[in-house]
Structure 1
Amino acid sequence: MFNREKMLSHLHTAEEQNLGGQILDKIEIVVKRKSEVSTNFLNPHEQSIAEGLIKQVYDINYKIDGGYDRAERKRVTLFPDYLYPEHVKTPVCILKVEGNFKFNSVSHRDFLGAILGLGIKREMIGDILILKDFAEVVVAEEIKEYICLRLKKVHQVPVNVEELDRENVVIPAENTREFTTTVPSMRLDAVSSAGFGDSRNKISRIIKSEKVKVNWKKENNPAQTVEIGDLISIKGRGRVQIVKNEGLSHRGRVKLRLKRFL
């Protein structure tokens, strides 16, 4: 049907190879059964891997959907190319999780933890949007009813869960802070040190332990060069984006405008 080894040859890490293999399995299902099939939720880097593989196969089309326009985590739905895309339903829905959080500060981690505590895998959950008294949780259609029936509390606060029409989704404003700093070079460890406020040695250890991603892709080389627009994330610490290169300081250091996601 197609050369799996050749199609996966550009994927270098074990995680990428595993994901690529899963995508090819789904491609085979569409080709053999002439049916629709969807991936789990994928981050943007994983989405690009999926798209790259799908585009190498004739007679297959696809849609990517994360529930709302600015979604980060999305599902890829593959289908025979003789079907009209507008007739193909993507199995993604949005749940509103509402409670009295006036006296309890809750975070993305609290909502995610409560859902995972039901025995649901992370890859079945898309983005989670946090608002004042509720959260909007993008989930796979397959687990919608289960969450509605089983999710009773978040951070010890009783909650009510109901499906939300897409046109009623409220997208919160980004909570960010921009600042200018200087770095000796555009190395990942140098920029991350400035962005997260830790020593370069500590950041280097974190990078080597594979807890850092650049544009959603794991990076373990502190000397890796980063560029304007790159998004750096550290597990459990948040994200920093390189917004602008403002030239050199009088000491010859690189002046950068960074955006910290709070």
Structure 2
Amino acid sequence: MTNELYSHFHPDEHRFVDKAQEWVRRAAEQHAVKRTDFLDPRQAFIVQSLVNRSGDVGLRFDGGYAQAERKRAILTPVYRDADAEDADIGLLAVTSDDARLSQLDHGDYLGSLLGVGIKRDKIGDIHVGPDYCHCLIANEIIDFVRLNLQQVHRVHVYTETLPLDRLRPIVPALEEMNLTVASLRLDGIVSDVYRLSRAKVLQPIKSGRCKINWKPEEDPSKPLKEGDVVSFQGFGRFRLLEVEGETKKGRIRLKIGKFV
């Protein structure tokens, strides 16, 4: 890959870019069909960018339902209809007789899924309801997961596979908060959202523990804009919902939505 193309991506992304470029090359030159694992939105953007540069490859994304965040990509030779290829996504339902199921969260389910020995890339979106969890999972491993997932955070569970049209998606809740900040700098907003000192967020940002729109960001002074989704490792995610203007003292009013 040319250095010019690498310059568009963060160094931590170069390995994935190489892999995606090989998918594109094989679809264009060897007429191969590639179905990827689940991609986050940033990875999907990279694949789309590389396909756009090629022009000889068909592409579609599918996460099992229309609003999916994590999706599988299907790359095909340009003469094949990517829409006709199956994304091979299954739906795993998790339930329990134990009332403590209602206390489990996304992290509990994800940790237990990974605990049976599968990779994160094989898992799509996870929807946690009050008395169930619906997990989108790559079909090639869903039976393995169904047989081996017996407990989630010390709660005994039952699993079954369901048709995708039985999915009951949960829209992520946003806890809104209002802030006034001196600037739109990443470090200042992160420190205010999570009530940490500026000093405590600087090093984690510089060491790659922060992402903006799923892209690693190591510059604490990076300005945020409306719509940006920020993830701070160990603390969660938030979205900058609105820049509401300035106060009389010249500070900037923001509306933030924390994912809960």
* TM-score normalised according to structure 1 size: 0.92
Equivalent pair of 1:73/1:126 in contact (CA under 8 Å): yes
Q: RMSD value over aligned CA atoms? A: 1.7
Matches of 2:7 and 2:72, distance apart in 1:
22
* Cα offset, 1:27, TM superposition: 2.0
Q: Could you report, residue by residue, the CA deviation over 1:207-243 in whole angstroms, capped at 9, with x for unpaired residues?
A: 1232111111111111111111111111121111111
Q: Gaps (5+ residues) in structure 2? A: none
Aligned ranges 1:115-194 → 2 under 5 Å:
115-194=113-192
Aligned equivalent of 1:93: 90
* Cα offset, 1:96, TM superposition: 1.0
Matches of 1:195 and 1:119, distance apart in 2:
34
Partner secondary structure for residue 54 of structure 2: coil
Partner secondary structure for residue 186 of structure 1: coil
Match of 1:39 among 24, 30, 36: 36
- Pair 1:257–1:232, CA change in 2 (3 A): same
Matches of 2:134 and 2:179, distance apart in 1:
35
Equivalent pair of 1:187/1:224 in contact (CA under 8 Å): yes
Matches of 1:136 and 1:59, distance apart in 2:
36
- Pair 1:15–1:92, CA change in 2 (3 A): farther
Q: Could you report, residue by residue, the CA deviation over 1:107-152 in whole angstroms, capped at 9, with x for unpaired residues?
A: 1111111111111111111111111121111111221111112111
Q: Gaps (5+ residues) in structure 1? A: none
Match of 1:232 among 227, 230, 233: 230
Aligned ranges 1:31-110 → 2 under 5 Å:
31-104=28-101, 105-110=103-108
Equivalent pair of 1:8/1:20 in contact (CA under 8 Å): no
How much identity, in percent, do the aligned residues show?
A: 31
Aligned equivalent of 1:111: 109
Equivalent pair of 2:100/2:155 in contact (CA under 8 Å): no
Runs of 4+, deviation exceeding 6 Å: none
* Cα offset, 1:257, TM superposition: 1.0
Match of 1:13 among 10, 18, 37: 10
Q: Could you report, residue by residue, the CA deviation over 1:144-183 in whole angstroms, capped at 9, with x for unpaired residues?
A: 1111121111112222222222222112243221121100
Matches of 1:69 and 1:151, distance apart in 2:
27
Partner secondary structure for residue 222 of structure 2: coil
Partner secondary structure for residue 55 of structure 1: helix
* Cα offset, 1:7, TM superposition: 7.2
Q: Within the alignment, does 1:212 sit opposite 2:235 as a pair?
A: no
Letter in 2 for 1:187: R
Equivalent pair of 1:233/1:239 in contact (CA under 8 Å): yes
* TM-score normalised according to structure 2 size: 0.93
The aligned length equals 259
* Cα offset, 1:13, TM superposition: 2.9
* Cα offset, 1:5, TM superposition: 2.4
Letter in 1 for 2:72: R
* Cα offset, 1:84, TM superposition: 2.5
